[in-house]
Amino acid sequence: AQTVTQSQPEMSVQEAETVTLSCTYDTSENNYYLFWYKQPPSRQMILVIRQEAYKQQNATENRFSVNFQKAAKSFSLKISDSQLGDTAMYFCAFMRGNAGNMLTFGGGTRLMVKP
């Protein structure tokens, strides 16, 4: 079974600064996908960024980027130029390839962006 661990229950950052959220996972699979989801107070789950395990290049989406270290099974999220609207819960998630699209979530990190 896969496990996903987010070791930072809460974090805070000043507006316009950079913050990194940590995520580690455990799997014996070689084909898989990793995701970061954002859940604002509205509780809607919003996909922030995704990474295919077979790709060596780290994914980037505007101010969001990841540091994917496959050997270390680490998948951290970096948010640059933090904005007040980034305040939310962030969940790291794992999906096995070719196995029905099931997601396994980490426990989440609550991020507070301070003005």
Nearer to another protein, 87 or 91 (CB): 91
- DSSP letter, residue 5: E
Hey, what amino acid is at 30?
N
User: Can you tell me whether residue 52 is helix, strand or coil?
Assistant: strand
- 75 backbone φψ class: left, alpha, beta (φ>0; ψ -120 to 50): beta
Residue from 95, 109, 111, 113 in contact with another protein (CB under 8 A): 95
Q: Which backbone phi and psi does 106 adopt, to 5 degrees?
A: -80, 175
Residue from 27, 105, 110, 112 in contact with another protein (CB under 8 A): 105
From 20-28, 54-62, 64-72, 105-113, span contacting another protein (CB under 8 A): 105-113
Residue 25 C-beta: closest distance to another protein, Å: 14
Residues in contact with another protein, shown as a per-residue x/- string from 27 to 66 under the rule CB under 8 A: ------x-x------xxxxxx--x----------------
User: Can you tell me whether residue 84 is helix, strand or coil?
Assistant: helix
Here the tokens at position 37 are 């989801």
User: Can you tell me whether residue 17 is helix, strand or coil?
Assistant: coil
Q: Does 112 bind another protein (CB under 8 A)?
A: no
Binding site for another protein (CB under 8 A): 33, 35, 42-47, 50, 91, 95, 97-98, 100-108
